[in-house]
A and B are shown apart, each in its own frame.
Chain A
Amino acid sequence: MSDLDAFRAEIRAWLEENCPAEMREPVRDEGDVCWGGRNFEFKSEAQKTWMDRCAAKGYTVPDWPEAYGGAGMSPAQAKIWREELARIGARPPLSSFGIWMLGPALLKFGTEEQKVHYLNQIARGEIRWCQGYSEPGSGSDLVSLQTFGEDKGDHWLVNGQKIWTSYADKADWIFCLVRTDKANKYQGISFLLFDMTTPGVTTKPIKLISGNSPFCETFFDNVVVPKNQIVGELNRGWDVAKYLLGHEREMISGAGGGDRLNAIGAVVARNGLEDPILRADLAMFDVDALAYACMGEKFLDEAKVGKAHPAQPNMMKYAGTELNKRRHELLMSAGGATALEWDSERTNGGTPARSWLRTKANSIEGGTSEVMLNVVAKRILELPGA
């Protein structure tokens, strides 16, 4: 038996012992996702147990170093971990922007002190993070952002407004892009971390077409941020932001796996599939979805050994989000009038319709499809003037 086979056997046995049966059920809606954080209300005892058991072993962030709360797994081991989770249909023990986005940025740009402090909190699900990037006047053109941090010696005094801040009303801390030099566009932005309970921080949920409010407007009115809460160098926050955007795009693309990569024809057919043209569209969709899942796997494999083009997450984000929108269009067609129900019990409160509407943001948030195509044209294809 090779070392990896032994490792797989070990993981399999541990999961058998420790993953509660309830956590092997598919995620039905947003409420089933474990986000962690100071004020998180666990939906069930099993959800908390599952997160705590994984955190104790470093399995919430399996490939982070042990000193920072991870399990120190190699890429090959982390792949086995994901495969074994998928094999029993286990839910991710903990999902968070801390894991997907801030964590990788801290690992690359953080001081040792910051890594030990923040990463361990993320790994244990103690602090829930939100991301302060977009502003009302700075969407696709993010670098034009205006939120300003005035240098006050031992702290910055931050004033301004962010928008589309995901779950800002539920988050404990924010990682935030703040202008610290008005004279330099790209090299005048710093990457700051601060507590959402700091005086002067307020949030206001934005009601979306889905009826839900996953995004907020976030206002900063004379918010005091101590100087040790900067990641990377002063005025070089754009480098951190770009690095982190790569991870965000990868996350939104679904490259890491999960439901959105799955084929759907067989699921739809369980309730009957009488329309041959719809069946044909489902089959063509399944071809694309199954092929895209291979792309996700290939991308992750290549990224771990530095083989992937650095701009490849932009392609992944573009393709993955467009695919997910198509997926939900087909699910709505397959569901017929039932899928139109907005708050009925049998649709679990209009899940099909609300999910369908939610996916329309996929190709807007974290960089629009059009911006992704611009980046691919410029950085990968090296087309002129792009």
Chain B
Amino acid sequence: MPLYHTEDQAMLAESVTGFMADEGGIKKQLRHYRDMNCQDGFGHALWKQFAEMGLTGMLAAEADGGLAMGHVEAGIVLREIGRNLTPSPFLTTSVMGVTALSGGSEDLRGRWLPGVIAGDSVLAVAIDEGPKHRPERIACKAEKAGNGFRLQGRKAFVVQGASADAIIVAARTSGSDTDNDGITLFAVPKDAAGISHENLRLVDSAMASNVTFDNVELDGDCVIGEVDGGRELLNKVLRAGRIGAAAELTGVGQGAFDITTAYLKTRKQFGQLIGEFQGLQHRAAHLYSELEIAEAAVIKAQQLLDGNSERADLMISVAKAKAAKACNLSVREGVQMHGGVGMTDEYDIGLYMKRDRSLAEFMGDQYYHAERVAQLSGY
């Protein structure tokens, strides 16, 4: 398969690009909801528009009312979300959440997916339990109680967790913290008794919750997939989240790059455009090169994942690490090349720098994924 978009994908990209620029722009969304101190961190009206565009259910099966598209298509949406810094539950809900629920029973899918696809509901995903991404270690416990389970423990960095209608929780139903087996995924409704949120604003103005589950009683029908056999489904969710975050990072990097090169073409010092200075030209050209390479790695990984290739895991980690490195370079160079105004809240470049930080951390940073590349390569 060639490493560029098919005609259908190119058409999707065209319509999503226009939609996101018009409706999801920085002023209309990110600054608007940030400045009103919105506790969701995103706008529900835009989420409804996502549904009207057919984006909310793009990964869901056709039998579930979705479009049965793949990660290349989801990546097209995420890249534009990244480019416009659009606050949206798309990655956690429509990419990770839907991937998790697709491994569940018909009843469970019927309970949550229609709301998601209609743009009425939002999902969050609770995997990590500390400040760093360590999905190999799951301590949060779900013990059998009657016909159901009792959930006990804490989850960290649950993006939009306090706004979600259901939280997908990876919990331990047997074994010890680092065991591969003994994991079960649950779809926990937000109104279940015993859930408390420490709802926090992050550096990029997104909201994330540290969630405490204090003896939360769950029906057996909250279980997604098999009891104790949830590791592979969790891995699916992780793959979706990682490649999705990588795609969004390439958008953030590209957005920062575009406004920076535009600035180089308008700002004058010493009587000339600063873009004429070779010192800046070479840095901009190097940055272009890094962003292009990251984008290539991302589309390759998306295609491998959609094709169920055994190389997908390796290339997803390559893509996430490379996208994080390239995007980080883009926002750092962006602020520096903007000079003093790059430090102001008025200019957008600083917003890109903040978003890059959050996204790089989400689903594992470049160090986590480089380590994974080494391990998957056998060293």
Stretch from B84-92, B116-124, B128-136, B281-289 forming part of the interface with A:
B281-289
Binds A, one of B141-149, B211-219, B312-320: B312-320
**A174 CA to B62 CA in the complex, in Å?**
62
CB of B264 closer than 8 Å to a CB of A: yes
Which of B280, B288, B322 lies in contact with A287, CB distance below 8 A?
Answer: B322
Which chain B residue has the least Cβ–Cβ distance from A287?
B321
- B2 on the A face (CB < 8 A): yes
Residue pair A295, B379 in contact (C-beta under 8 Å)? no
Given known pairs A376-B288, A385-B272, the reply for A292 and B293 (CB within 8 Å) is yes
Interface contact B2-A294, CB-CB below 8 Å: no
Q: Is A269 at the interface (CB under 8 A from chain B)?
A: yes
Contacts of A35 in B (CB 8 A): none
A265 touches B374 (CB 8 A): yes
What residues of B have a CB within 8 angstroms of the CB of A284 in the complex?
Answer: 321, 366, 370
Within 8 A of B (CB), among A308-342: 312, 315, 318-319
Indicate if the CB atoms of A383 and B264 lie closer than 8 Å: yes
B292 close to A315 (CB less than 8 A): yes
B63 within 8 A of A: no
Shortest beta-carbon distance from A274 to chain B in Å = 12
Q: Does A245 contact B (CB under 8 A)?
A: no
Q: Is B358 an interface residue (CB 8 A)?
A: no
A263 at the interface (CB under 8 A from B): yes
CA distance in complex: A286, B265 (Å): 35
Instruction: Check if A291 sits within 8 Å of B318, measured CB to CB.
Output: yes
Question: B276 contacts A383, CB within 8 Å?
Answer: yes
Interface residues on A, range: 35 or more
Check if B278 sits within 8 Å of A374, measured CB to CB.
Answer: yes
Among B13-21, B100-108, B169-177, B295-303, the one that faces the other chain is B295-303
The reply to whether A294 and B293 contact each other, CB–CB distance below 8 Å, is: yes
Shortest C-beta distance, B282 to chain A (Å), equals 4
Which residues from chain A contact B281 at a C-beta distance below 8 Å? Answer: 373-374, 377, 381, 383, 386
CA distance A283 to B378 in the complex (A): 11
Size of the chain B interface, CB-CB below 8 angstroms: 44
In the assembled complex, B306 has its CB within 8 A of some CB on chain A: no
Nearest-neighbor residue (CB-CB) of B261 within chain A: A381
Complex Cα distance, B324 from A288, in Å, reads 12
Please indicate the chain A residues that have their CB under 8 angstroms from the CB of B373 in the complex: 263, 265, 283, 286-287, 290
Distance, CA A372 to CA B288, complexed state (A): 12
Residues in chain A near residue B182, CB distance under 8 A: none
Closest CB-CB distance, A160 to chain B, in whole Å? 31
Nearest Cβ on chain B to A265's Cβ, whole angstroms: 5
**A282 on interface, CB distance cutoff 8 Å:** yes
List B contacts of A31 (CB < 8 A).
Answer: none
| A380 B261 Cβ-Cβ under 8 A | no
Q: Which residues of chain B come closer than 8 Å to A288, judged between CB atoms?
A: 293, 322
Q: Does A25 contact B (CB under 8 A)?
A: no
Asked if B285 and A381 sit within 8 Å, CB to CB, the answer is: yes
Check A385–B370 contact: CB distance below 8 A.
no
- Quick check: is B369 within 8 A (CB to CB) of the other chain? yes
Binds B, one of A189-197, A296-304, A350-358: A296-304
B294 at the interface (CB under 8 A from A): yes
Instruction: Give Cα distance in the complex from A206 to B374, angstroms.
Output: 41
Picked from A269, A318, A384, the residue with its CB within 8 Å of the CB of B265 is A384
Assess A286 versus B377: contact at CB under 8 Å? Given A280-B370, A301-B3, A383-B264: yes
Are B322's CB and A283's CB within 8 A?
no
- A292 partner residues in chain B, CB cutoff 8 A: 293
A21 contacts the other chain (Cβ, under 8 Å)?
no
- Give CA–CA (A292, B321) in the complex, Å: 13
Closest to B283 in A: A373
- B275 interface residue (CB < 8 Å to A): yes
| B302 CB to nearest A CB, Å | 11
Contact at B273–A297, with CB atoms within 8 Å?
A: no
- Which listed residue (A301, A312, A315, A376) contacts B2, Cβ 8 A? A301
Chain B residues near A (Cβ < 8 Å): 2-4, 261, 264-265, 272-273, 275-276, 278, 280-282, 284-286, 288-290, 292-294, 296-297, 299-300, 314-315, 317-319, 321-322, 325, 366, 369-371, 373-374, 377-379
Interface pairs A-B: 10 shortest CB-CB:
A269-B379, A385-B276, A291-B297, A298-B3, A377-B281, A376-B285, A301-B2, A294-B300, A295-B296, A291-B322
Could you jot down 8 A-B contacts, CB within 8 Å? A265-B377, A280-B370, A286-B377, A294-B293, A301-B3, A374-B285, A377-B282, A383-B284
